[in-house]
Amino acid sequence: MFKTFVAAIGGLAIASTAAAADISGAGATFPAPVYAKWAEAYKAQTGVGLNYQAIGSGGGIKQIKAKTVDFGASDKPLKPDELAAAGLYQFPTVVGGVVPVMNLPGVAPGQIKLSGALLGDIFLGKVTKWNAPEIAALNKGVPLPNLPITVVHRSDGSGTSFLFTSYLAMKNAEWGSKVGASDSVQWPTGLGGKGNDGVSAFVKQTAGAIGYVEYAYAKQNHSTFASMQNKAGKFVQPTAAAFGAAAASAPWLKSPGNYILLLDQPSASAWPITGATFILMYRNQENPANGAQVLKFFEWGYNKGDALAASLDYVPLPANVKGLLKKQWAKSITAGGKPVYVAK
């Protein structure tokens, strides 16, 4: 019943733009600005437009499963068995990250250092004051105020929350067993703001608050971020280079179905809460021409879209990863056993 409902909505949306042989996609809101910018430039060059509906990752997965779009987009990679069951293939497009942001009077951006385990204890409500010994141990010489910690999290289901909670579950055993990792979880404490702007507003309005937002949002709003300890034990600041380092040091070759979270990667300069956003397509394309158009579009994005992505504070994939993925396409996406498109 629900599938037909989604199909009906998707059908309506497609019918309105079916005039040209445009590519249609739906899903994650996080990469929507990049796809829009790429599409604009791509249309100017090739005449092929993109109709992308930023309806959320969950919606994107539902739409591609209902076959109402040429591709779905999700901030959360599907597990290999789930991909196989649906006959889908996934590949990443751009990289982003999650940044803890705070409101601490007298503290500069990056001045507070946190580890994953400590961040977990804060979000569990176990560390409740900024001058608690656990925080002070990592921040010698920083004037920590005697303020209660107010935890702010996303109220809406979000890939940002998925990345953040996955990271906490990875680094903090109690978080893993008590709360877990998902788009939305049962938060042990704190209040929820809607979207990055909602979280950011509550953090700004509450002295002593800590929340988490997407990197691009934190950067554009000059938020007071925390430095995070990565797997190599170094404290790093959230920069495009730190996200790129995480993506470059990830084991892409050893990840079946491209199921990969870029969390806690080994590189000494890697930002620990990094993640890619993904495209979902059918392995067997019923309409090879459409499939080829989608791949051509993302090939263009890989080859020429880096500057556009960077201008919006998204981090492009490392060149070797992109080369690897382009080679995968010929084998992975086929129609009648033949590749729909062979990337150059």
Binding mask 276-315 for another protein (x = CB under 8 A): ----------------------------------------
Applying CB under 8 A, does 192 fall inside the site for another protein? yes
Q: Which of 180, 256, 266, 323 binds another protein (CB under 8 A)?
A: 180
Closest approach of Cβ 20 to another protein, in Å?
27
Segment lying near another protein (by CB under 8 A), choices 13-21, 92-100, 106-114, 182-190: 182-190
Applying CB under 8 A, does 327 fall inside the site for another protein? no
Q: Which of 111, 128, 184, 239 binds another protein (CB under 8 A)?
A: 184
Applying CB under 8 A, does 214 fall inside the site for another protein? no
Query: How many Cβ atoms sit within 10 Å of the Cβ of residue 182?
Result: 14
Closest approach of Cβ 253 to another protein, in Å?
27
CA gap 158, 143 in Å, rounded: 34
Interaction residues for another protein, span 238-277 (CB under 8 A) = none
Applying CB under 8 A, does 316 fall inside the site for another protein? no
Q: Which of 120, 190, 272, 339 binds another protein (CB under 8 A)?
A: 190
Applying CB under 8 A, does 57 fall inside the site for another protein? yes
Q: Which of 46, 205, 287, 320 binds another protein (CB under 8 A)?
A: 205
Closest approach of Cβ 29 to another protein, in Å?
8
Closest approach of Cβ 299 to another protein, in Å?
28
Applying CB under 8 A, does 97 fall inside the site for another protein? no
Applying CB under 8 A, does 179 fall inside the site for another protein? yes
CA gap 19, 107 in Å, rounded: 55
Applying CB under 8 A, does 174 fall inside the site for another protein? no
Applying CB under 8 A, does 156 fall inside the site for another protein? yes
Reduced 3-state DSSP string for the chain: CHHHHHHHHHHHHHHCCCCCCCEEEEECCCCHHHHHHHHHHHHHHHCCCEEEEECCHHHHHHHHHCCCCCEEEECCCCCHHHHHHHCEEEEEEEEEEEEEEECCCCCCCCCCEECHHHHHHHHHCCCCECCCHHHHHHCCCCCCCCCECEEEEECCCCHHHHHHHHHHHHHCHHHHHHCCCCCCCCCCCCEEECHHHHHHHHHHHCCCEEEEEEHHHHHHCCCEECEEECCCCCEECCCHHHHHHHHHCCCCCCCHHHCCCCCCCCCCCCCCCEEEEEEEEECECCCHHHHHHHHHHHHHHHHHCHHHHHHCCCEECCHHHHHHHHHHHHHHCEECCEECCCCC
Applying CB under 8 A, does 145 fall inside the site for another protein? no
Closest CA to 164 of 199, 130, 133, 126: 199
Binding mask 8-47 for another protein (x = CB under 8 A): ----------------------------------------
Contact residues toward another protein (CB under 8 A) are 1-2, 5, 55-59, 61-62, 76, 150, 155-159, 179-187, 190-194, 198, 201-202, 205-206, 209
